[in-house]
A and B are shown apart, each in its own frame.
Chain A
Amino acid sequence: MISFQGGSVSGLTGFLAVVLVFIWIYNKLIHVRNEVENAVGAVHSILQKRADVIPSLVATLNQYSDYESGLLKELTEARTLALRSGSTSVDALQSADQTLSGLFGKVMAVAENYPDLKANQNFLGLQASLNEVEGQLAAARRTYNAAVVRYNTVIESIPTVILASMLGYKRKPVFQVTEAVAQKPDLNQLFGRKTG
């Protein structure tokens, strides 16, 4: 009788331990998943903030009638797309980020050819705002990447991998700079297009 009771107690204790471990792992998975979602939200909101600079930038650049009008049109279209898209998927965000980064890079490169524009107070203010937003965006990307690395580590480590695969947790990609964005804009091509 006594050994049967001892066996029941140790069995119950073992069961409780398993339940506690299960709860701990489950909560940890939720925690790391939410961290990634928070980080994605932060990137999305800063990208929106960056897109909001475009109308003021276009208004300032429109004062210079011979400024590359094709470029301004691309900027406006990119903003419209960014605002329409409610997607917070990493691929969509990365694509929006890269498109706008490329366009802003071209705008700043072409502005080098307009001394009056470079001295324009509005333009300087917008440039400073953009620099600040770029800094925030870089921080948001790093935060997202750190959250994703932690998430991927947790879902692929023992013992959390067991429950993670049962619950359908999949590995997530990090933000990467593609070769296209890493390249500087071709100034000869830009100047050639302007004068052509």
Chain B
Amino acid sequence: MLEIELLQQRLGKVPEFIDSELRPRVIAFSEDQPKLGGPIVAALKKWGFWIVLGYFMQFAAGLMHASRLKAIVGPLGLVLTYAAGGVLLWALKPYLFKAKERFERMRTLTALIKARAIGFLGFHYESSVEFPTALVHSCGLFTRYDRAYAEDRVFGKLGEAEFEMMELSTSKVERRGKAIKLIPLFKGLLVVVDFHKNFSGHTVVLSDHAEKSLGFVGRSMQRLAADVGLQSEMGLGRLKLIELEDPEFEGKFKVMSSDPVEARYILTPAYMQTLIQFRRQVGDRVQLSFMQGKMIMTLPYQSDFLWFPIQPDDALASVPRVLEEVVGVLRLVADLKVQSNLFQARGGSSKAG
């Protein structure tokens, strides 16, 4: 059975998993938390009265004509306001620390819920991720950037192939005089699938805009840019432009490779059609790179990947949506696997999955 079908079956068991594994933790957390609302309101009522009285006295003193009474009421009101305010803050201090502690515990619990939920699918999760600088610089899919960050890494095995996906964002800094503007370059997913195959070359499939808008002239310019090494993407070096037989594919993608035979081994006629369909599904900015036995894919993604609300109850309600997001991306990878030479198992049938 295909791995994706197994994952779909697992998704069907998510409500049961939430009720048996996650909800008890959330309930235990809620019961364990001190009730902060009551004491805070009581303290505000008790000392708030004196603060308001002090303000009232100052206000009244302001309306009085100069007299001995005014000289007493005004300063007394001021002292009362500050004294009552100070006592209130002192009384609230332990509760403020507890509220901060509670917030931190909620964040920890929410992160745990996320990790357990993704673990339910058989994968692993890390919220803080080191930015994969070497990979980003060498894969040929990113333009030069000034700032970048990565987070929310999910990794594991899909059948025989190991994968990881993470949310990535790159931007460049534009200075206009003293003003600094951050221009976003890429926000979305970086997906890396390792097929454990030995191939030495580097093949990149980029989204083609030049040929689409400029036709034959665009293609000639692409060829010239490739020949002289003028590419906006990092890591392309002197990869050669490869022209393939499928005109529809050629109109939508630009292929560059260090080995034309290897490029055609990867991009069979069937796989080219799969990529065309894939592009229709996910948008025209999807790009792929094949190097060091890995397929690297960038998928622009506007919303926050794996976003969880901070409140544990709301986080529980988000678990099915988040798991659907992960399976959705893996379904896309599996669709690409089916027609690819690269995922055929050694020593077994050539069927994928």
CB–CB B348/A139 < 8 A: no
Enumerate 11 A-B pairs (CB-CB under 8 Å) in ascending A order: A39-B260, A124-B348, A125-B347, A128-B346, A132-B341, A132-B344, A138-B264, A138-B268, A139-B264, A140-B261, A142-B264
Instruction: Say if the beta carbon of A146 comes within 8 Å of chain B.
Output: yes
B243, B244, B344, B347 pick with most chain A CB within 10 angstroms = B347
Contacts A135-B265, A139-B265, A146-B243 given; does A128 touch B260 at CB 8 Å = no
* B346 engages A125 (CB within 8 Å): yes
Q: Considering the complex, which residues of chain A in the window 121-140 have a beta carbon less than 8 Å from any beta carbon of chain B? A: 121, 124-125, 128-129, 131-132, 135-136, 138-140
A42 within 8 A of B: yes
Chain B residues with Cβ below 8 Å from A143 are 260-261, 264
- Closest residue of chain A to B266 (Cβ to Cβ) is A139
A9 and B78 CA atoms in complex are apart in Å by 98
Of B260, B261, B262, B344, the residue contacting A131 (CB under 8 A) is: B344
Give CA–CA (A129, B347) in the complex, Å.
8
- Complexed CA–CA distance, A142 and B349 (Å): 25
* A131 neighbours in B (Cβ, 8 Å): 344, 350
Residues of B within 8 A of A128 (CB): 344-348, 350
B104 within 8 A of A: no
CB neighbours of A142 from chain B (8 A): 245, 264
Q: In the assembled complex, how far is the CB of residue B56 from the closest CB belonging to chain A, in whole angstroms? A: 88
A129 to B348 Cα, complex, angstroms = 10
CB distance from A30 to the nearest CB of B (A): 15
Minimum Cβ distance to chain B for residue A92 (Å) = 19
Most A C-beta atoms less than 10 A away, residue of B243, B245, B265, B341? B265
Please, how many residues of chain B have a CB less than 8 angstroms from a CB on the other chain?
18
Residues of B at the A interface (CB closer than 8 Å) are 243-245, 260-265, 268, 341, 344-350
Complex CA gap A125/B347 in Å reads 4
Main secondary structure on A side of the interface with B = helix
How far is the CB of A5 from the nearest CB of chain B, in Å?
37
Q: How far is the CA of A131 from the CA of B344 in the complex (A)?
A: 9
A136 touches B265 (CB 8 A): yes
State the Cβ distance, B33 to closest chain A Cβ, in Å. Answer: 58
In angstroms, how far is the closest chain A Cβ from the Cβ of B61?
93
A41 → B minimal CB distance (Å): 10
A29 to chain B, nearest CB (A): 16
A136 touches B347 (CB 8 A): no
Which residue of chain A lies nearest to B346 when distances are taken between CB atoms in the complex?
A: A128
Q: Which residues in A have their C-beta under 8 angstroms from that of B262?
A: 139
User: How far is it, in angstroms, between the C-alpha of A128 and the C-alpha of B265 when the chains are bound?
Assistant: 15
Cα A124 to Cα B243 in complex, Å, equals 35
A160 to chain B, nearest CB (A): 16
Residues of A within 8 A of B243 (CB): 146
Closest to A138 in B: B268
Distance in angstroms between the alpha carbons of A125 and B341 in the assembled complex: 16
A42 to B261, CA, bound (A): 8
In angstroms, Cα B178 to Cα A145, docked, is 57
Instruction: Give every chain B residue within 8 A of A39 (Cβ-Cβ).
Output: 260-261
Contacts of A124 in B (CB 8 A): 347-349
Within 8 A of B (CB), among A99-150: 121, 124-125, 128-129, 131-132, 135-136, 138-140, 142-143, 146
Closest to A43 in B: B261
Contacts of B263 in A (CB 8 A): 139
Alpha-carbon separation in the docked complex, A124 to B344 (Å): 13
Closest 6 CB pairs of A and B: A139-B265, A139-B264, A125-B347, A135-B341, A142-B264, A143-B261
A177 CB, min distance to chain B CBs, angstroms: 14
Bound together, the chains give a CA A162 to CA B132 distance in angstroms of 53
Given contacts A124-B349, A140-B261, 11 further A-B contacts (CB under 8 A): A125-B346, A125-B347, A128-B347, A132-B341, A132-B344, A135-B265, A138-B265, A139-B263, A139-B268, A142-B245, A146-B244
Closest A residue, CB atoms, query B341 = A135
Cβ-neighbour of B268 out of A42, A135, A146 (below 8 A): A135
The residue that B261 contacts in the complex, of A121, A129, A132, A136, with Cβ under 8 A, is: A136
CB B275 to nearest CB in A, in angstroms, measures 16
Shortest Cβ distance from residue A85 to the other chain B in the assembled complex, whole angstroms: 21
Distance (Å) between the CB of B269 and the closest chain A CB?
Answer: 9
Contacts of A138 in B (CB 8 A): 264-265, 268
CB distance from B272 to the nearest CB of A (A): 11
Alpha-carbon gap, A162 to B279, bound state (A): 44
Interchain CB contact under 8 A, A121 and B265: no
Instruction: Kindly provide the distance from the CB of B306 to the nearest chain A CB, expressed in whole angstroms.
Output: 36
Q: Specify the chain A residue showing the minimal Cβ separation from B264.
A: A139
Q: B346 — which chain A residues lie within 8 A by C-beta?
A: 125, 128-129
Q: Which residues from A are CB-within-8-Å of B349? A: 124
Q: Which residue of B is nearest A135, CB measured?
A: B341
- Whether B245 lies near A146 (C-beta < 8 A) is yes
Closest Cβ–Cβ distance, residue A136 to chain B (whole Å): 6
Q: Could you say which residues of chain B place their CB within 8 Å of the CB of A42?
A: 261
Complex CA gap A121/B349 in Å reads 11
